[in-house]
Structures are given as structure tokens and as C-alpha cells.
Structure 1
Amino acid sequence: MTTTLITGANRSLGLETVRRLIGAGHTVYAGMRDTATGDAARGLGAHPIQLDVTDQASVDAAIAQLPTLDVLVNNAGILGASFGVDDLTAASLQTVLDTNVVGIVRVTQVALPLLRASANPVIVNVASGVGWPRYLSAEGHDEFPVTGIPYAASKAAIIALTVQYAKNLPGMRINASDPGYTATDFNRHSGHQTVTEGTDATVALATIGIDGPTGEFHDRKGRIVY
């Protein structure tokens, strides 16, 4: 049985990832800041655990509850409160980076001993095409109209972080996923994809074998190339 931890798993893309990986036969631990919001995940058969990626003690306690770990899906993230230059502050950038980027490092570093004991350790970091400069700068892409800086910078950092983790841990399969423009609370449900479509890349990368790709960035159609 594959044991999986998903952060930010109480709603939206995280909850759909819970549903799909349970359907694929995984035992899923659904990390969330408040387990009182975990009824939906619990109803799917997941095990909700309290996990705030910005709190080291919370991360330590959550990982300590896991008997084993084969797959880590770093899904937790925030949009932030800055959407242009005029409302940008160092504090608003720091808040987003602490959750979206440093949060991945907090969880991954504590989870590494369990992952190293797995026969097929896998990490999926949920990034975004908003962190891909080619998409941000090319008209016609969904990402082009985005002007916010913190969220885009955090997702770009996640992609680079993923590549570097993969280089340092060649025995693991470590990749980043792009959900695409999916209807979620982040965009007031304006996205043109369903949450199922938005989790296609994450689920595909979470279920790869030991001969699967590593250090790559994928959307639902496959690898995103430079």
C-alpha cells in the first residue's frame, strides 16, 4: 500500500487530489491547518492531520504521526494580498514565500527520512504556469494578464527548488506540476478547467514508478519544455 501525504488537502485542488489518489489505492493523510474543516477529506476515506506549513512545530508533529511515507504532495499555497506594484510590500512578498516556498522546504526536510525508507519515493510540488517566464511574457497564454508579483515569484521559486531537490536526491522522483487555469476560490471560479483537469498533472506525477521522470515540470498534457 502506498502512503501519501498531501498538504492543503481540505478543499479545492488538494481535496480533489485526495479523492483521486484514494481511488488509485493510496492511503492518504490529508494535511490541513484546522482538522475541523476535514469532513470532506474524511468522507473520502482520508486521515486528516493538523499541518500548518508555516509552523515548524506543526510540521514536526504531523510527520511524526505517519507510519511510513511513499508520496509527498506539496500542495498548500496562498495567493497573497498583492496584485500589482502599487500594493506590493516586502511583507506581502515574505508572507507568500513563507507559505508557498519555505513551507515546502519545512515539510520536505522533515519528511526525508521516511521517504528515504520507501522503495519508490515520490515528491510532487504544485507550482503554476504563472511561475514560468515564457508564459508570463507571451500574449495568448492564460498567465500573460497576471500582474501580481509575490504569487508568480513563489511559483517560479518552486520550479527551481524542484529541479535542485531532484539533482540532490537522484534516488527519488521529484517533479513540479502546473494545474493550469482551473476554477478555484483563488480566481473566483473563473478558470476554464475543472478541478479534476487541474489535478491531472499532480496525480500523474504522484503515481509514477521508480523509472519515471524527475526534475521536470508537467501540465496535464505532459512535460513543459523550455
Structure 2
Amino acid sequence: MQTEQDPLSERNRAYLDLLTDVYEVSAAYSSRSYIWGGFTIDIFENRFLRDHHDLDGFTLDLEDISDQLAAAYAKRGYQTGFDREFLILKIEKGGIHAGFNPLEIDGDVARWMHIGREGSVYFPADWLDATPRLFYGSRVYTAGIRFEYAIRTKVGMLNPEWKPRDKDREATEYLARAIERENIRPQDIYEWIWSYNPFWYKRGYTEFFRPTVAWPLSPK
């Protein structure tokens, strides 16, 4: 936890530098990287709530520019690697880690390729931040509160083996309060997100033979 005397740990200061690099490197190639996961709640609150161990994101058109992005991060002192099976760009510097999956946008629909070509989540593109947020002076895009709520409460769409941790339950409670304050019903989120994960079907989870929806399809 942070203290009043030292509100930012050395590690979190390093993450602020990372967020700045992510924003600037992505923008240099006419792309955007959107942060999702545990870090987003800190960003929504505009303060560090705890120390973090990694940063998760997805990058627009990552497949097309992965080599350029890797080279740009390397120039800023990062070790980089691109997992071509799962399409993850990994960067690390001084024990600070981040990983980015591909994001594609087709009209109004965003596709997050969370297991490379073997698993994708589809959701409205306008859930994503349209303009960057400021977090301790660093500009950053997030996946947005609707996306975070859906992923936290319907994690089975992504990974049938996921076991929620205490910090996941705390995040879910926070997000539930947040959407309630904005008068957003869970149904209004669930109706617009679905996934398709051949990865899990091939591992014996027969329910993943078809796309997985967060809300029953309309009979109309």
C-alpha cells in the first residue's frame, strides 16, 4: 500500500513511465493501446490503490505493426518479444512487465483477440475511451467501464478454468457500484458482448463449439 509520505512507490513511478511510453509509441504508428484489467480501476480513480505486477492491454492493428512497435520500445530500453502463436507483444524493463494483444475495429464492432486466432471477444467499439485520460500526468486509454464490468462478471466467456482471486472480487464490487452510479443496467452491457474460443473447444470444453454470449439472444 502507498503511504501519505510517499504516495508513489518506485515501482509505480516506473509504471507511469511505462504508460507514457505505451501512449507515445502507439501514437507514433497511428495506433492506440487500451489498458484493461486491474490497472484500470486505479486509472478510473486517478490514484494508485496498490502496487501492480504487470500491465495488460490491447493495441489497434497490432499484427500489422508489431515489428515497428517492438523496435520503438527497444529504443526506449525495453526487452521485447512477440509470441506469434498467441499474438502477444511482450515488453519488460527493470522488472516492469506489459503484454498487448491485437485489437481490430470494423465499423462499430471491436474485436479483442485474447488468444490470438483461437479466441476473440467482440463488443461495441464505443465502449473504448474516445479520448485519453490523465493519470498522474500520463496520458492513457482504457477499455472503459462497460468492458471491465463485462469481463469481470462473465470471465467464463474467456477462460472456463479461471478462479477469481480476492482482488478480482473487490474489483467486481467496485465496478458494480460504478455502473449503478451511471444508471447502467448489467443487461445493457451483457446484450452487446460475446466471444468465440476454439482454443477451449479443442481442449475438451464442448460448450465452446459455438460462440458464447453474456446474455440470451433476443427471440426476435
TM-score between the two structures when normalised by the length of structure 1: 0.25
User: Which structure: larger Rg?
Assistant: 2
Greater helix share, structure number: 1
Greater strand share, structure number: 2
TM-score between the two structures when normalised by the length of structure 2: 0.25
